[in-house]
Each structure stands twice: as C-alpha cells, then as structure tokens.
Amino acid sequence: MLPPSRPALTPARSAGLMPGAGLSSARVAWRHSLRFRLAATYSLLALALIMFISLGVVTLLLSRMDQQFNDRLNERADTLAERYTVTGKDLGKSAGGIAAYTMLISEDDMVFAASTALNDYLNAPFPFQKRNSVVIQATPVRAVEREIGPLGTLWVGLPETDLIAARQSAASALLVALVFTPLILLLVGWWVGQRALSGLQRAANLADQIDPTRSLDTLPLPAREDEVHRLLSAINRLMVRIEAGQAREKQLLGQIVHELGAPLTVLKASLRRAEERTDDPEVRRAALVADELTFTTQDLMQLARGELELKLAWHYIPARTLQERLDRLVPGTVYAGDWTGGILCDPDRLTQALRNLLANARRAAGAQGSVTLTLQENTDTLTFTVRDSGPGLPPDLGERIFEPFISGAGSSGLGLSVARQIAGMHGGTLSGGNCPQGGAEFVLSIPGAALGDED
C-alpha cells in the first residue's frame, strides 16, 4: 500500500542545468588567469617598447645638448684666440666673460694672465695639462686649448653645471617612468582584458552549469562577431553534435534492449517451468544466468532512458521480503544485522541496486569466497553494507568505479553506476572502498521510513 506522505516522485533537477551548480561562481586564480597573462604580456611589451624609445630619445637629447655645449665652448675659444692673434688689443687684459674661465699660458707652462675667478693660478705653473674636464672651486668645468702664436696657449673653460643637471633630470625622469609605467600598464591592461573577455567569462559560467547528461543548451553569442563569438559558435556546434550523438546512442541502445527483452522473457519462463518439473541443478544454474541477463538489460534500458525519465513506485515492505528476493537472485549471500523492520522504497529498484552490488561481490570473491550483506537501521537512515573476501577495488580507479562502463572485475561496468543512481533517486548515497581486513566494501544508505503510528 502506498503511504499518503510519500507519493511517487521524480528527481527534481532542472533540465539542462546542474542544480545550484557552484561551478558558475568559481573564479580563476589571478596567476592562472588569461586576463592577467594578457595584461602582463601587454605591460612587458609596452614597457620594453617605451624603455627603448625613451632611452633613444634621452640619449639623442643629451647628445644634442652635449654637442651644443661643445660648439659653444669651441666658438668662444675660437673668438678669443682670434682676438689675441689678429689684433692683440686684448693683450695684458684678463680674458673673461660671463660664466667663462680663461688663462694664457706661456711657452714654459706658466700662467701669466687669467680671468678673475682664476687669479689664484697667476704666475704659477699651469695645473691642467692635457685635461679636458677639471673641477674649479667645486664647479665641474670643460675646457679646450688654442695656440695663439708667440703668446703661447689660450685655455678656455665653461662650467658644466647646467649640462650635468639636465642629465640628472633626464635620468630621474626615465627611472620614475620605468618604475610607475609597468604598474599603470598592468592596471590598464587588466581593465581592458576584463572588458574584452567579459563575454567569454559569462559563457564559461554558463558552460559550467550545463549537465551533459541532459539537453545541452547552447551558449548565448555576443553581439560583436569577434574571436569570442567564433569560439562560442564552435562550442555550440560541438554541443549540437554531441547531443545528436547521444540521442543516436540511446536510440540504438533502446532498440538492442528491446530486441533482447522478449527472448529473455520467454527463456526465463521456459527455464522456470523446467526447474519446477525436473529440479535439475544445471537448469537452476541456467535460470540464474537468465536472471543475470535480465538485470543487465534492465541496466542498459535505464541507461538508455536517462535518469529524468525514471520514476519510483514507493512501497513500504518488510525487510525480510527484500532479503528473500535477493537470496533468490544471488545465492550464497550471508545476511547480518536487523532484518525485522520495514523499508520505504521502490522494491524493484532497490532490489536491482543491491543485486548489482551482491553480484559484483560474488564475482570478485569467487565460488569459495564469502559475501555478506548487513542491514543497520537508526532513527533517520537505513544502511546496507556489502562486503566480500575478494582482492578489493583497484586503487587507480577511485570514484571512477561508479562511472558507466568502468569495471575492475571484467563485468559490463553498469552495475555500480546504476546502483548509485538508484540510491540517489531514493535520496541516499552509495560509496565504496576497501576493508582493512581485505576485500571490497560498498555502503548504500537511504532515508528511513520515519512513519508514525497512524502511517
């Protein structure tokens, strides 16, 4: 009898999207972000280009300034030399000028005339032999010499203070630009990358929500037909092809199962009648093989239909009834725990799930091994534990053991996948692992009946 508090249910999942798909809110770490890599690459390239251009401009500017300084110095030296050699009217006067240093050196390298700032060098040996740059009174000076015939040598110097200050200002500006330009470029590149890749990010969030086991919704395309538009169009075409391939596979699988179903039904009925008449162990073994094939076709049909098309027919049955059905399907199982209570479930589906677990366990344990099914009940949960004495689960499979067509024991690989699906439809779970004492262990839990006296 169907309890009024638990009507027939279907899994409540929206078509096409995973429920509460936390993946859509996932964020890529900044160091792995395409946006960051683009911004960093753009910043480095722009920095290299700016640095190359800036160094060229600054070098050219300083070279021009240096050339202008030398031209000015040479022009002044030539003018003064001409005044001394041609007219001689300035002989005996101090050769000076605004911000200029001049000295007249005799043939025996004695200073016999000098500008006011160089009076300390008068009548003394010339101190700056073959030196183009000197320091006078803490001021850097660049100098040139001119021969003025019998008068000796004219020495002319100009202070380099302004030129050095210009060099320092240019170097400081270039250093500040190299320090702050990468940061500014990175921020601008990050912002531009965010704007440029916003459509791709939204598409990725939507793609994370798509459940490939259901109808594959296509991704919305941006208005601008750029590279992102092209990529999303290709993804949409791929999903259409995938959905068409899935539909063809399910259709073919359904046709195969349908073709196998009718002969198996006739074969099971014939074997059952033969077993009743003869009680032959070979006939009994053949009947068990027919049951095995029947359950395999049921698994295939469930896979072909998909989870959304399955419904549970809820019944409240004694646990002993479930035990008797399983004992007929998988003989030799040892039952432990408390089998005196009741179970609210779809008996056919729950039998199918537990039978798949027991059949896998028997296959792993072999004819001489042991398989145990233990039922434990607490306030909210019923727990079925299947243990076997086989070699255990392959460590390299892990959770993949529950995927369709993944098997560690040479079976079809559908049993565990279907069993977990049935457990989920009951609101429960199915997990597997290896026992410390050896062998495999699978735990299937479903909610308890939680019925009151009236129920």
pLDDT at 100 over 70: yes
Give which of 361, 380, 357 is closest to 371, Cα–Cα.
361
Do 408 and 293 contact (CB within 8 A), yes or no? no
- Helix (H) / strand (E) element for 292: namely helix 281-305
Q: What is the pLDDT of residues 282-332, one digit of tens each?
A: 877 777 677 767 767 776 676 666 554 567 889 999 999 999 989 888 888
Q: What is the pLDDT of residues 192-216, one digit of tens each?
A: 777 766 666 676 776 776 665 555 6
Residue 136: burial class (beta carbons within 10 Å; 0-12, 13-18, 19+)? middle
Residue 226: DSSP 8-state = S
The rounded distance, in Å, linking the Cα atoms of 442 and 432 is: 4
> How big, in percent rounded to 5, are the helix, strand and coil portions of the chain?
55, 15, 30
The rounded distance, in Å, linking the Cα atoms of 415 and 432 is: 13
The rounded distance, in Å, linking the Cα atoms of 251 and 397 is: 29
Residue with tokens 């395309």: 221
In the chain, DSSP finds a helix count (H) and a strand count (E) of: 8, 12
pLDDT at 373: 96
Q: CB neighbours (10 Å) of residue 334?
A: 10
Q: What is the pLDDT of residues 232-267, one digit of tens each?
A: 788 888 888 887 887 787 777 777 777 777 787 788
Residue 115: DSSP 8-state = -
The rounded distance, in Å, linking the Cα atoms of 446 and 430 is: 9
CA atoms within 13 A of residue 7's CA, in its CB half-sphere? 1
- Helix (H) / strand (E) element for 141: namely strand 139-147
The rounded distance, in Å, linking the Cα atoms of 301 and 303 is: 5
CA atoms within 13 A of residue 161's CA, in its CB half-sphere? 8
Domain annotation for the chain: domains and CATH numbers: 18-209 (3.30.450.20), 214-305 (1.10.287), 312-447 (3.30.565.10)
Highest mean pLDDT among 132-136, 227-231, 292-296: 132-136
